[in-house]
């Protein structure tokens, strides 16, 4: 009998149930092990949330930036990340997210404007590339 793949929502279930039981570190260990053999956006997002809960900003940042960089639905992950105060107040997260977004082919102007506002707050030097990107989008849609 073939082993069925784990449904994506199971990772959320593991994370939430173990966090509720006060076993966040065990949940992280399980999910990190699973991450070695499975490519799953939801698994990475769950790890990001668990790391935020554990106050490990560096590891949380790494998970969410990975999603924004590699996921086909990167804009959904960026949207979610921009709603998390711990990430939007993290200069390194905003700086790296800005760099990643400027390499994308697809445009999501509302999200990118929100990211730009955060980048300007931190006076991130490479915000100009995001400004240029948004100007190009505007020219291509109004031209």
As a whole number of angstroms, the distance between CA 143 and CA 125 comes to 29
List b or e across 2-37, with b for residues whose CB sees 16 or more CB atoms inside 10 angstroms: eeeeeeeeebeebbeebbeeeebeebbeebeebbee
Q: Which residues contact 103 (CB under 8 A, 6 or more apart)?
A: none
Residue 77 has pLDDT above 90, yes or no: yes
As a whole number of angstroms, the distance between CA 81 and CA 45 comes to 10
In this prediction, residue 64 has a pLDDT band, given cuts at 50, 70 and 90, of: very high
The pLDDT value given to residue 59:
98
As a whole number of angstroms, the distance between CA 74 and CA 104 comes to 9
Least Cα distance to 15 among 48, 60, 64 occurs for: 48
As a whole number of angstroms, the distance between CA 80 and CA 135 comes to 24
Task: Report the 10 Å Cβ neighbour count for 118.
Answer: 21
Rounded to the nearest integer, the mean pLDDT of the chain is 92
Task: Report the 10 Å Cβ neighbour count for 112.
Answer: 22
Q: What is the pLDDT of residues 87-103, one digit of tens each?
A: 999 999 999 999 999 99
Backbone angles phi, psi at 72, to 5 degrees: -65, -25
Give the distance from CA 57 to its chain's centroid: 13
In this prediction, residue 1 has a pLDDT band, given cuts at 50, 70 and 90, of: low
Mean pLDDT to the nearest integer, 63-81: 97
């Amino acid at each position: 009998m073939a082993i069925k793949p784990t449904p994506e929502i199971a990772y959320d279930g593991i994370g939430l149930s173990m966090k509720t039981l006060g076993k966040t570190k065990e949940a992280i260990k399980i999910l990190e092990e699973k991450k070695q053999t499975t490519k799953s956006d939801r698994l990475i997002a769950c790890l990001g949330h668990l790391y935020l809960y554990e106050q490990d900003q560096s590891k949380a940042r790494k998970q969410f930036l990975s999603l924004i960089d590699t996921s086909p639905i990167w804009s959904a992950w960026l949207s979610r990340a921009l709603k998390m105060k711990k990430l939007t107040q993290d200069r390194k997260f905003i700086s790296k997210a800005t760099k990643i977004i400027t390499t994308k082919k697809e445009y999501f102007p509302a999200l990118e404007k929100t990211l730009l506002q955060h980048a300007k707050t931190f006076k991130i030097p490479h915000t100009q590339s995001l400004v240029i990107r948004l100007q190009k989008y505007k020219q291509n849609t109004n031209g």
